[in-house]
Amino acid sequence: MSDDGCNCGSSQCGSDSCSSGGCGGAQQSFLENTHELNSIKRVIGIVSGKGGVGKSLVTSMLAVNMRRKGYNVGILDADITGPSIPKVFGITKKAEGNEFGIYPQITHNDIKVMSVNLLLDKDDSPVIWRGPIIAGTVKQFWTDVIWGDVDYLFLDMPPGTGDVPLTIFQSIPLDGIVIVTSPQDLVSLIVKKAYNMAELMNVPVLGIVENMSYLKCPDCGTEIKLFGESKIESISEKLGIKVLGKLPIDPSLAELCDKGEIEKYNADYLDYAAQYIEEKFAERSNKNMILAVATDGLNVSEHFGKCETFTLFEIVDSEVKSKKTISTIGNQHGNLPPFLKTQGVQTAILGGIGGGAKQGLLENGIEYIAGISGNIDEVVAQYIKGTLKPGAGECSGHDHGEHSCSCGNH
């Protein structure tokens, strides 16, 4: 036990310093439930290190792309102080509500949109609010807005890695983030910060999009690199994340945005990104697979490294075909990931897990969903339905020196 009273061996640590992130250990879950009339399958945050790099544009284009594939799509405009989503879609009507909640507005192609601009009298009224009010408004867009059935909800996050984005990360269960950057950014630093924030909060980074990558000469087609050579490949390699796309500066795109007609834009720059997101999430719910759950027998074990049993679920056509419990004694800690691999495991569901063990799982090609607690059968049923979200209750305190963790997995 450390001086601050936090024992990060627990995945449900309620220590004050822990919940503030001070000890780097386990964190309390602050996740909020969405409105009871909502069924939202995937929530994807679009983040950037600073404003003006094209985050809202990429959010909008991804939403349009997914809508064209036939999905029900929503955009939650969490960029409260710089809301631009309604404008690029040409939405002028305000949001309406009744005793059940607030209804989003709908674009020409039926994308649902909620933004603070749909609540303000005038679009150009500045939002001069302090952080907690801003974060509270975003939370309400999640808890009080009646989104209905949505396959993909895209969150246009506030820029940066400060207090407001952090609160959003803690309160809305994100399935993944896309980082948007531009070549003139202090790219590697900014991408690394966004990456670290997502990693701390247990949210997978789906990839990076580089906006304003180049300008295409309208006469000869030459690509002019206004901001110099792109560094995005080397960063993505260093961090092990995918480049999902590169967008040129395109005056015709800016013009469509100004006219509120982004849905008419037809270039394929983000097709790969949309396809990747689609495949990534379809794969999870349909795949025939072996799923391992760290367990004490009935419930998900609090700690991966010292867990003595795993229950393996064989999933075929989205149903549990068989289930067996195996002992890990003799194969714990660093040996666990390769041991699970020999059992044919593709995905693991866990409570707390340290950084080294996460790395070990990834190196063995095993995806994981961490910070989970509760009955193993119920958790697996949620996984198959696609509603199991990573929790914030994981132990990330394995590489800190002074803080003593009881797991012995250092």
DSSP single-letter state for residue 305: T
- The Cα–Cα gap between 23 and 2 comes to 9
Q: Using CB under 6 A, which of the segments 27-35, 247-255, 298-306, 386-394 binds ligand ADP?
A: 247-255
- Please, which residue, 57 or 395, has the CB nearer to ligand ADP? 57
Interaction between residue 157 and ligand ADP (CB under 6 A): no
Minimum Å distance from CB 80 to ligand ADP? 12
- Please, which residue, 53 or 292, has the CB nearer to ligand ADP? 53
Interaction between residue 62 and ligand ADP (CB under 6 A): no
Q: Using CB under 6 A, which of the segments 91-99, 127-135, 248-256, 286-294 binds ligand ADP?
A: 248-256
Minimum Å distance from CB 277 to ligand ADP? 19
Pairing verdict, β 112-114 and 105-106: antiparallel
- Please, which residue, 61 or 95, has the CB nearer to ligand ADP? 61
Query: Interface residues for ligand ADP in 164-223 (CB under 6 A)?
Result: 211-212
- Please, which residue, 160 or 371, has the CB nearer to ligand ADP? 160
| Residue count, binding to ligand ADP (CB under 6 A) | 18
Q: CA dist 370 to 113, 202, 257, Å?
A: 30, 7, 39
Q: Are 82 and 53 in contact (CB under 8 A)?
A: no
Of the candidates 106, 200, 249, 312, which one interacts with ligand ADP according to CB under 6 A? 249
**What would the DSSP string read from start to end of 349-387?**
E-SB--HHHHHHHHHTT-EEE-S--SBHHHHHHHHHHT-
Sign of CA dihedral 351, 357, 359, 361: negative
Sign of CA dihedral 228, 229, 232, 238: negative
Minimum Å distance from CB 67 to ligand ADP? 18
- Please, which residue, 62 or 357, has the CB nearer to ligand ADP? 62
Of the candidates 21, 82, 136, 386, which one interacts with ligand ADP according to CB under 6 A? 82
Query: Interface residues for ligand ADP in 32-61 (CB under 6 A)?
Result: 48, 51-57
- Please, which residue, 19 or 84, has the CB nearer to ligand ADP? 84
Sheet of 347-349, strands arranged across = 319-327, 309-316, 289-295, 347-349, 367-369
At 385, list the tokens: 């339905």
Minimum Å distance from CB 260 to ligand ADP? 11
Minimum Å distance from CB 177 to ligand ADP? 14
Sheet of 105-106, strands arranged across = 105-106, 112-114, 73-77, 149-156, 39-48, 176-181, 205-210, 243-246
Pairing verdict, β 149-156 and 176-181: unpaired
Interaction between residue 260 and ligand ADP (CB under 6 A): no
- Please, which residue, 253 or 380, has the CB nearer to ligand ADP? 253
- The Cα–Cα gap between 25 and 8 comes to 5
Interaction between residue 278 and ligand ADP (CB under 6 A): no
Q: CA dist 229 to 184, 190, 269, Å?
A: 10, 17, 19
Minimum Å distance from CB 290 to ligand ADP? 41
Q: CB 266: neighbour CB atoms within 10 A?
A: 9
Taken as a whole, the chain contains a residue count of 410
At 86, list the tokens: 């309604």
Minimum Å distance from CB 270 to ligand ADP? 11
**What would the DSSP string read from start to end of 99-146?**
TTEEEPEE-TT--EEE-GGGTSSSTT------HHHHHHHHHHHHHTB-
Q: Are 403 and 1 in contact (CB under 8 A)?
A: no
Q: Are 304 and 334 in contact (CB under 8 A)?
A: no
Interaction between residue 253 and ligand ADP (CB under 6 A): yes
Minimum Å distance from CB 35 to ligand ADP? 26
- Please, which residue, 250 or 377, has the CB nearer to ligand ADP? 250
Minimum Å distance from CB 82 to ligand ADP? 5
Of the candidates 1, 133, 224, 254, which one interacts with ligand ADP according to CB under 6 A? 254
Q: Using CB under 6 A, which of the segments 144-152, 167-175, 244-252, 378-386 binds ligand ADP?
A: 244-252
The residue ranges that bind ligand ADP (CB under 6 A) are 48, 51-57, 82, 84, 211-212, 247, 249-250, 253-254, 257
